[in-house]
């Protein structure tokens, strides 16, 4: 049986029976400190309170300000798995315990696209993007690809949520857990959704579609060419689709029908603060 590493998972090209996840990893080593447990305060369907909107604040018109204290190293423990014992048992977690921060927090302040990038005139998020072409799209908009730490913080917030919407998996909140992925030798079915299709797929900051729909490129905080790219958020398949998961098995020129673009940029200094 031929297998190929696609979006953080092994896909059977013969059967296209996909139930997979992505590699969990840490961007950089950190000194161990006593774990800080954050008790979940939101349910999967709760509406988050964003710190800014896409139409106001220092990041307008289409970006959101993300500011707060980010945990570089997190322990997330699954209480209950969704799938039965087998090769894909530990990919989809139905419910996580409260997250534990294992390293000193780092203050972050930056701007991030509220939505996955949609080319003007199109109805669906842009796809078939490599790390290189996605970076060019961001550059053309006066932005850049997010650092992985920025992407993760925009997704999980200070609670360190495993999923942007909470601690329990909700297959109706985001475009995930699709099963009709395609047929052998025919490629993937295009199951991208418009950016207004899943209004509950929101992070604590109000950033949309960071789990599922299209996977998004980010730059590893400590990466160096040619190993500095990561794909985040997974796509519409039944995979991990968590904020901390990453696909690291592809190079900077890899592209696919499930890979899109989200951009970040430095935020202006807050009033009363000088720019670094």
Q: What is the pLDDT along the chain (276 residues), one digit of tens a residue?
A: 333 333 334 333 333 333 343 454 443 433 444 566 665 544 444 444 444 444 457 897 899 999 999 999 999 999 999 999 998 898 999 999 999 999 999 999 999 999 999 999 999 999 999 999 999 999 999 999 999 999 999 999 999 999 999 999 999 999 999 999 998 878 899 999 999 999 999 999 999 999 999 999 999 999 888 899 999 999 999 999 999 999 998 889 999 999 999 999 999 887 776 654
- Residue 238 pLDDT: 95
Residue ranges per structural domain of the chain:
1-270
Residues 260/51, Cβ–Cβ less than 8 Å: no
pTM to 2 decimals? Answer: 0.84
Is domain 1-270 classified as CATH 3.90.1580? Answer: yes
How many Å apart are CA 146 and CA 243, to the nearest integer?
13
Give the E-state strand segments of the chain in sequence order.
3-6, 9-12, 23-24, 36-38, 63-70, 74-75, 78-81, 93-96, 99-101, 106-113, 144-145, 215-224, 227-232, 245-247, 259-260, 263-266
How many Å apart are CA 247 and CA 150, to the nearest integer?
16
- Residue 184 pLDDT: 80
- Residue 56 pLDDT: 54
List, in order, residues 6 or more apart from 117 with CB less than 8 Å away. 125, 126, 137, 260, 261, 262, 263
- Residue 274 pLDDT: 60
How many Å apart are CA 211 and CA 232, to the nearest integer?
8
């Amino acid at each position: 049986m031929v297998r190929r590493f696609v979006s953080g998972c092994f896909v059977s090209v013969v059967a296209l029976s996909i139930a997979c996840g992505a590699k969990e990893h840490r961007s950089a080593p950190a000194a161990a400190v006593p774990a800080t447990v954050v008790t979940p305060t939101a349910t999967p369907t709760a509406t988050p309170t964003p710190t800014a909107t896409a139409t106001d604040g220092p990041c307008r018109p289409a970006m959101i300000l993300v500011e707060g204290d980010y945990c570089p190293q997190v322990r997330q423990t699954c209480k209950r798995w969704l799938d039965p014992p087998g090769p894909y048992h530990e990919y989809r977690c139905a419910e996580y315990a409260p997250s534990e921060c294992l390293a000193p927090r780092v203050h972050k302040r930056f701007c991030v696209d509220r939505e996955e990038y949609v080319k003007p005139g199109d109805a669906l998020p842009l796809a078939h993007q490599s790390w290189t072409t996605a970076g060019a799209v961001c550059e053309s908009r006066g932005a850049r690809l997010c650092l992985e730490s920025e992407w993760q913080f925009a997704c999980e917030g200070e609670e360190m949520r495993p999923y942007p919407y909470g601690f329990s998996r909700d297959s109706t909140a985001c475009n995930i857990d699709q099963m009709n992925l395609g047929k052998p030798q025919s490629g993937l079915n295009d199951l991208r959704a418009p950016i207004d299709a899943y209004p509950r797929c929101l992070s604590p900051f109000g950033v949309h579609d960071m789990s599922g729909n299209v996977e998004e490129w980010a730059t590893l905080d400590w990466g160096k060419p040619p190993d500095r790219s990561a794909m985040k958020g997974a796509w519409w398949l039944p995979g991990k689709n968590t904020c901390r998961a990453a696909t690291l098995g592809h190079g900077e020129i890899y592209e696919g029908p499930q890979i899109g673009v989200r951009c970040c940029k430095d935020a202006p200094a807050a009033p009363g603060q000088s720019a670094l």
